[in-house]
Amino acid sequence: MKKLMMLLALATGIGQAIAQQSRVAIIPQPVSVKENPGSYLLPKQIVVDAPNMASLQYTQKWLQHKLTTATGYTMLFTQGKPATASIVLQQLQPANATLGKEGYELEVNQKQIIIKANEAAGFYYGVQSLVQLFPKEIEAKQVQKNVQWTAPCANITDYPRFAWRGLMFDVSRHFFTKQEVKDYIDQMARYKFNVFHWHLTDDEGWRLEIKGLPKLTSVGAWRVPKEGYFGDMSKPEPNEPKTYGGFYTQEDVKEIIAYAKERFVNILPEIDVPGHSLAAIASYPELSCTPGAENYVVRSGEKIMNWLGDGKFTAIVDNALCPANEKVYTFLDQVFGEVAALFPFDYIHIGGDECAHNFWEKNEQILALMKKENLKDMHELQSYFTKRVTGIITAKGKKVIGWDEILEGGLVDGAAVMSWRGEKGGIEAAKLKHEVVMSPTTYSYIDYMQGDVAIEPRVYATLRLNKAYQFNPVPAGVDAQYIKGGQANLWTEQVYNMRHAQYMTWPRAFATIESVWTPVEQKNWSNFAGRVEKHFERLDVRQIKYAPSVYEPSFTARLDADGQLWVEMQTELDNIKVHYTFDNSFPDQFYPAYTTAVKVPKDAVQLKVMSYRGDTPKGRLMTISVEELKKRAGKK
């Protein structure tokens, strides 16, 4: 038995070693990868043979830029001469039904690279995977010397699990420039995301030019500048200049749509109604039910809601459109008319989330409407509003999608549901045979902290990378045909700039894309974590910021029966050692390494830790006060 156990242990160790030595580290993990001996050496004169497809022009241009900028090599394109080419892009005829529109086959042998696909999107994704096979220096913006430009020999077959692979980016809480939005789209497209959910309106800013309603941007796009923790900021004074903000002209939007289309990304616009509408009401006070709305201003970060817990809340300021005011529907007809004409995507997102009803409940105009329409409660009232908005949008030739609150009071025929309050709303909508996009807070809210609050900017919840990787868009017992896919959501209340947006997105967006692209049976945390580290190196070369939180511990504290304080440190990676000190000095690899719960010395003031792999520091120096540990242990 001992010999058997030793053999099993040896086999496991060999298997792990082989996995660690894998030369293919693609994100998202392809459907099938067969590694072969040898490598392909990129020639200094790269010849690409490609079919004559107009939709392939950008992919060819991008490939040329990527394979020549860092290498200093040249590239020549041919057509119909595959035998003499370095790289062959071959359109499959007849089409391969398994690959679909976005799938590809990638073969790298010692003589040639061949990418086969049915359509242009498949070639684009095949090229993205190919570039990930070359050394990380391929991402550099200038020529790199002393690099062997090789790719490992392999046969890869790949296609997505879901058609909807999204990232939501909130540009209302903080404005991001046209170029920054393009950069974000470019980053997500590199990893095979294909839906950019653009959250364009909220209490803090209206970001889209509506030509028939100019005050939405002349008033609603601007607020008093504030820095600090959003939600706890001081109320803006009447005479403070409103200089912070911005908006996208319709020409800007057309340019961004064209940019995204080249990268096979659809843009889903969101106009969030009836709640989250303070910027609109500040622009056009007649859209409100509440007297005094003419004094409302665009929110700058001050508290406007009371959060009561258990998903309940009330509004301090009435930030909801009035469902009993016909002017609201005239306004929305104008807004959605221009939105529908501008955005080619089939869907428009109408929000529908977190609409406070406390002002509605005491408004005579609304109560009269409810009596007239035989509406029992506020949920049915909001459903009435949603039905009217849906009618407006469908008349423009578009489909409606909204947050899962649109289920309350009755789901409108044909509406799709984006489930954010866990999976419950998505499950309910799927059972009603409605289309569903899963984006539950549990796995997909990348505005949450990535690690311990001792080092992360404070937000109200934490989502570690390993938890994000557990995302499965099809919950048990749900008919998969109604699940369109899934996405991650980046709300930006606490995200002031693009560098921090990158930090919040990566690496957790890697977990999301692998959850919506890769077959569930192919997912493996240890393998994924190893590939993430390889992509950290690539992001370093690209100068894209990411969170190193995966290397850093979280802290939990407890009191034993004698009142002694103990601290435990949990890490996401097994091969990381956490070195610590209580003596106020800075720990390195020569300090004690954490193995089990540590007793906190009686007079200690702070715990400092640093993560290492061998002698190499990983992550950041972390400091947590003993007072904070006592609070976590429940000691008063």
Is domain 552-633 in CATH 3.30.70, yes or no?
no
Distances from the Cα of 218 to the Cα of 10, 106, 209, angstroms: 69, 51, 9
HSE-up of 599 (CA within 13 Å, CB side)?
7
Is the pLDDT reported for residue 46 higher than 80?
Answer: yes
Pairing of strands 87-91, 45-49: parallel
Roughly what angle, to the nearest 10 degrees, separates helices 364-373 and 378-395?
A: 80
pLDDT at 21: 64
**Sequential DSSP letters for 22-49:** -S---SSPPSEEEEEEEEEEPPSEEEEE
Is the pLDDT reported for residue 617 higher than 80?
Answer: yes
Q: Which of the four pLDDT bands, split at 50, 70 and 90, describes residue 309?
A: confident
What is the distance between the alpha carbons of residues 123 and 128, in angstroms, rounded to a whole number? Answer: 9
Asked if 348 and 338 count as a contact pair (C-beta separation under 8 A), the reply is no
Strands of the sheet containing 87-91, edge to edge, are 32-41, 150-158, 104-108, 113-117, 87-91, 45-49, 74-78
Of 551, 371, 531, the closest CA to residue 455 belongs to: 551
Taking residues 503-527, what's their average pLDDT?
98
Strands of the sheet containing 554-559, edge to edge, are 554-559, 565-570, 598-599
H helix runs in 362-463, sequence order? 364-373, 378-395, 424-431, 441-444
Is the pLDDT reported for residue 1 higher than 90?
Answer: no
pLDDT at 18: 38
Residue 423 CB contacts under 8 Å (≥ 6 apart), including other chains: 438, 440, 442, 475
Reported as a single tens digit per residue, the pLDDT across 417-460 is 999 999 999 999 999 999 999 999 999 999 999 999 999 999 99
Taking residues 533-552, what's their average pLDDT?
98
Q: Which of the four pLDDT bands, split at 50, 70 and 90, describes residue 276?
A: very high
> Can you tell me whether residue 385 is helix, strand or coil?
helix
3-state helix, strand, coil in the chain (%, to 5): 35, 25, 40
Output phi, psi for 619, to 5 deg.
70, -155
Roughly what angle, to the nearest 10 degrees, separates helices 2-20 and 525-542?
A: 20
For the chain, the structural domain boundaries read 30-158, 164-542, 552-633
With residue 377 as reference, give the H or E element that holds it: none
**Sequential DSSP letters for 537-576:** HHHHHHT-----GGGS-EEEEEE-TT--EEEEEE-S-TT-
**Sequential DSSP letters for 295-357:** G-----S---EEEEETTEEEESS--S--TT-HHHHHHHHHHHHHHHHH--SSEEEEE--S---
What is the distance between the alpha carbons of residues 524 and 16, in angstroms, rounded to a whole number? Answer: 12
Is the pLDDT reported for residue 11 higher than 90?
Answer: no
Is the pLDDT reported for residue 159 higher than 80?
Answer: yes
Domain spanning 164-542, CATH architecture: Alpha-Beta Barrel (3.20)
What is the distance between the alpha carbons of residues 583 and 605, in angstroms, rounded to a whole number? Answer: 8
Q: Which of the four pLDDT bands, split at 50, 70 and 90, describes residue 142?
A: very high
Reported as a single tens digit per residue, the pLDDT across 75-121 is 999 999 999 999 999 999 999 999 999 999 999 999 999 999 999 99
Which two structure tokens, joined as six digits, stand for 477?
Answer: 């017992």
Sign of the CA dihedral with 39 first, then 41, 42, and 45 last = negative
pLDDT at 22: 85
Taking residues 26-52, what's their average pLDDT?
98
Of 622, 628, 588, the closest CA to residue 604 belongs to: 628
Given 102, 209, 270, 354, which residue is catalytic? 354
Asked if 221 and 205 count as a contact pair (C-beta separation under 8 A), the reply is yes
pLDDT at 17: 40
Active site residue 270: no
Reported as a single tens digit per residue, the pLDDT across 575-596 is 999 999 999 999 999 999 999 9
Q: Which of the four pLDDT bands, split at 50, 70 and 90, describes residue 574?
A: confident
Length of the chain equals 636
30-158 CATH fold: Chitobiase; domain 2 (3.30.379)
Taking residues 204-217, what's their average pLDDT?
98
Q: Which of the four pLDDT bands, split at 50, 70 and 90, describes residue 59?
A: very high
Asked if 538 and 531 count as a contact pair (C-beta separation under 8 A), the reply is no
